[in-house]
């Protein structure tokens, strides 16, 4: 019985430690493990100007390492103009910086491995972002409606780009895709109206429906032999598209892959010319 009571006491103590929250300045923290890692969020929507989130925070004589930006942690903090993330942060949570309309540029530290869903949704002033070389996953709609973003380089470390990740990035004119991506998910670059060319890496096996839908500046597309399936309307409404070469002669094409592409008279599939 004494052992059981001792075990329960330790369990309760451990839970209380993990549930601990505290505030230092404009930032609130939550302990997330027994290694003194914490997540961080804004304590107020009134944070303005330059925000530097520290790598280590001291509270009551103890030091904690910031490892996560909480879900909704800084959402709607519209007055943040410059942002520096902690050097040890691994995860940027869902909607972490959604609608932070004042942020212009951002560099993710090398520690970041995951960007959550809608993490930077609606950051309308964000024009440049440098992604981490440790990044594995870009969540669904992560950069949706980042209407000032003009260029993005996806590192080779990235294995997945979520659905609609860059949807409606209307200023995005150039994209460099990493060589570990296997699937270009549904509408991942839809409505990128300034995108003029795309080079699909040899790692990609599938282009899902509407992946490049309404990219009406897109003039050419080269699809490598690795791609075995191209989904419905993947290149629909690409009004300037005039050259498409699909190297795999056995690729499975969905319905209306090239619908409303008035300048595309034919495409190359393997060595065959297919008229539209």
Q: What is the pLDDT along the chain (276 residues), one digit of tens a residue?
A: 545 444 444 444 444 455 699 999 999 999 999 999 999 999 999 999 999 999 999 999 999 999 999 999 999 999 999 999 999 999 999 999 999 999 999 999 999 999 999 999 999 999 999 999 999 999 999 999 999 999 999 999 999 999 999 999 999 999 999 999 999 999 999 999 999 988 999 999 999 999 999 999 999 999 999 999 999 999 999 999 999 999 999 999 999 999 999 999 988 999 889 998
Q: Give buried/exposed letters for 222-252 (b at 16+ CB in 10 A, else e).
A: ebbebbeebbbbbbbbbbebbebebbbeebe
Whole-angstrom Cα distance, residue 126 to residue 171?
Answer: 11
Residue 13 within any structural domain of the chain: no
Rounded Cα distance between 259 and 255, Å, is 9
Q: Which runs of consecutive H residues, i.e. helices, occur in the chain?
A: 2-18
pLDDT score recorded for residue 214: 98
Q: Is residue 266 part of a domain?
A: yes
* 222 within a domain of the structure (yes/no): yes
Segments forming the whole domain that contains residue 58: 40-275
Alpha-carbon span 26 to 196, nearest angstrom: 42
Strand partners, 175: 152
Determine the 3-state secondary structure of 27 from DSSP. Answer: strand
Q: Count of domains in the chain?
A: 1
Do the beta carbons of residue 118 and residue 138 sit within 8 Å?
no
Q: How many residues does the chain have?
A: 276
User: In this structure, is residue 17 part of a structural domain?
Assistant: no
In a domain, 135, yes or no: yes
pLDDT at position 271 is 83
Does 223 map to a domain? yes
Cα(173)–Cα(175) distance, integer angstroms: 7
Query: Counting Cβ atoms within 10 Å, is residue 52 exposed (0-12), middle (13-18) or buried (19+)?
Result: exposed
Q: Which helix (H) or strand (E) holds 199?
A: strand 197-199
- Cα–Cα distance between 189 and 167 in angstroms, integer? 5
d(CA 39, CA 62): 15
pLDDT value for 1: 52
Q: Is residue 28 part of a domain?
A: no
Which pLDDT score is estimated for 197?
87
- CATH number of the domain at 117, please: 3.80.10.10
**What gap in Å lies between CA 129 and CA 105, rounded to an integer?**
6
Q: Considering the domain boundaries, does residue 52 fall inside one?
A: yes
pLDDT of residue 276: 86
Name the phi and psi angles at 5, rounded to 5.
Answer: -65, -40
Please give the angle made by the CA atoms of 156, 161 and 163, to the nearest 5 degrees. Answer: 165
Torsion sign across C-alpha atoms 36, 41, 47, 52:
positive
Separation of alpha carbons 123 and 41, rounded Å: 17
């Amino acid at each position: 019985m004494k052992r059981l009571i001792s075990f329960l006491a330790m369990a309760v103590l451990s839970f209380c430690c993990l549930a601990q929250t505290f505030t230092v300045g404009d930032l609130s923290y939550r302990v997330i493990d027994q290694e003194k890692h914490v997540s961080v969020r804004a304590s107020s929507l009134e944070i303005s100007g330059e925000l530097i989130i520290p790598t280590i925070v001291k509270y009551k004589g103890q030091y904690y390492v910031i490892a996560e930006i909480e879900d909704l942690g800084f959402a709607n903090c519209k007055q943040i103009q410059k942002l520096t993330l902690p050097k040890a942060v691994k995860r940027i949570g869902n909607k972490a910086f959604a609608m932070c309309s004042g942020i212009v540029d951002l560099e993710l530290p090398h520690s970041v491995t995951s960007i959550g869903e809608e993490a930077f949704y609606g950051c309308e002033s964000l024009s440049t972002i440098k992604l981490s070389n440790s990044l594995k996953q870009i969540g669904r709609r992560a950069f949706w409606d980042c209407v000032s973003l003009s260029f993005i380089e996806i590192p080779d470390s990235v294995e997945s780009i979520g659905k609609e990740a860059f949807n409606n990035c209307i200023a995005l004119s150039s994209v460099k895709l990493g060589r570990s991506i296997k699937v270009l998910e549904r509408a991942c670059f839809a409505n990128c109206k300034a995108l003029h060319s795309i080079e699909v890496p040899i790692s990609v096996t599938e282009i899902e429906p509407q992946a490049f839908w309404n990219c009406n500046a897109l003039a050419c597309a080269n699809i490598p032999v690795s791609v075995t399936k191209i989904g419905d309307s993947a290149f629909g409404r690409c009004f300037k598209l005039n050259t498409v070469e699909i190297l795999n002669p056995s690729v499975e094409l969905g319905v209306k892959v090239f619908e409303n592409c008035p300048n595309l008279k034919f495409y190359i599939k393997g060595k065959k010319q297919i008229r539209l």
